[in-house]
Amino acid sequence: MAMKLEILGKEVIKPDSPNHLQTLHLSLFDQFLPSTYVSAIFFYDDQPNQEEILVHRLKNSLSQTLSLFYPLAGRIKEGVVVDCNDEGALFTKERADVLLSDVLRNPSDADLVHKLIVSPDHADPGTWPLLHVKVVFFRDRGFAVVVSASHKVCDAASLSMFVRSWTKAAKGFADTVNPEFAASVCYPPADISVEFPPLLEHKTKSKTKSFVFGPLMIEKLKIRASCGLLAPQATRVESITALLLRCMTKARRPKTEAVTEFAITHTMNLRPRVPLSFLPRKAIGNFFFLPLLKETSESKMNIQETVSKLRKTKEELNELITKDSNSDEAKERITSAMLSFLCEVSPEAETYAVSSWCRMSFYEVDFGWGFPVWVAPGSVDKTQVVLMDARDGEGVEAWVTLPETDMAEFEHDDELLVYATPSPSIRTK
């Protein structure tokens, strides 16, 4: 289904009070990340009586929130620092020519959803805003709030913290804990002379689909994934990740003989894994660990073996953290391990990235008009998986992006469809 968006207005929103920090140094791994946005789209079925009241409340509360998250109102300078100049975030108001129900009727096909996402101007990263917010009103009722923050400054957990702080301001409450932008404290500041190894570029068209794993099927998959494990039962994220990787590599294997290696990364959020002396829980930035799994193209990607390997990477990270009580030395070990992993990736390897957004409370984002009926990630790159909590809080929605030819096989994989279904229509009031 085609969807047209009419721009009703654009405005720059500045913090309601000036900040006192002039520059924020990006970390070494901020530099490695592409100039793109981490985005989430929140769909609401409730329709306030007046659109202007909604927009006014969102803009005023956004201005208040930017006073806490002030780097998001700045601009990247020379590729290695954020100039915290309070230049502002971009706020766009749009109207869609489709019904909200049109979007919710077939959520497994991401084409409609991705039309709501904004893309930064890659030509000059110093000019595009680090935060872009859109509110989109649908033809009948309902609206979507699209929040896009620069991946140079935010990861998914940071985005969640920002949005939840914004909702408090929208409802008239002040956030009691100030965020801390401390990426360069955890990881070394960026050095523009550092060159990271290039990753394989995918020049073929990609396709994104979403699949839902219900609570019952998750339990069955966990039992299968835990068979033979000496450790505790596999988690839902471990089990789903292992199954998806098995099916993704199966879909890829018959079509290319040139690829001899799969490079798989599974992003780990450092915040819940390290002590508070190491990293505050309200730390804003890219605080992740990126372990690497390497498999040959002949590998069958056995689910139990993959879970064991994923678990081993967690154990290795725990060892890096707890080897001694010196947090500075632990940071150096983690940085060294990350650099080592990145250098091990062959440019010819087929890369797969898995990121879990589960337990990040995206369905609790209430600006004063109720909780969202659906939340979708807008940051799903090629050959990538994003896992999110389903609306019921028990299931998991997996967003999978693959080359079109691979997706045609992946979405019909019998083994996948035993446990997952394409995202069903979303019921509203």
Helix (H, G, I), strand (E, B) or coil at 262: strand
Type of residue numbered 238: E
The dihedral through the CA atoms of 108, 112, 118, 119 has a sign that is positive
List the structure tokens of 261. 């290696």
Active-site residue, selected from the candidate residues 30, 45, 151, 406: 151
Contact indicator for 150, 131 with CB cutoff of 8 Å: yes
Closest alpha carbon to 249 in 378, 415, 386, 33: 415
Closest alpha carbon to 40 in 153, 155, 137, 126: 155
Contact indicator for 66, 14 with CB cutoff of 8 Å: yes
| Residue carrying structure tokens 């620092």 | 81
Q: How far apart are CA 358 and CA 241, in angstroms?
A: 12
Type of residue numbered 295: E
Type of residue numbered 415: E
Specify whether 155 is catalytic. Answer: no
| Residue carrying structure tokens 């408090």 | 168
Active-site residue, selected from the candidate residues 16, 86, 366, 413: 366
Q: Residue 108 phi/psi, 5° resolution?
A: -70, -20
Q: At CA 284, angle to CA 273 and CA 167, rounded to 5? A: 110
Type of residue numbered 201: E
Q: At CA 218, angle to CA 101 and CA 263, rounded to 5? A: 95
Q: How far apart are CA 389 and CA 97, in angstroms?
A: 29
Contact indicator for 42, 139 with CB cutoff of 8 Å: no
What residues form DSSP beta bridges with 41?
146, 376
Specify whether 366 is catalytic. Answer: yes
List the structure tokens of 207. 């396709």
Provide the CA 379 distance to its chain's centre, in angstroms.
Answer: 6
Contact indicator for 136, 4 with CB cutoff of 8 Å: no
**What value does the CA radius of gyration of the chain take, rounded to a whole number of Å?**
21
On the 0-12 / 13-18 / 19+ scale of CB atoms within 10 A, 422 is: middle
Q: How far apart are CA 423 and CA 29, in angstroms?
A: 34
Contact indicator for 15, 66 with CB cutoff of 8 Å: yes
Catalytic residues, by residue number, are 151, 366
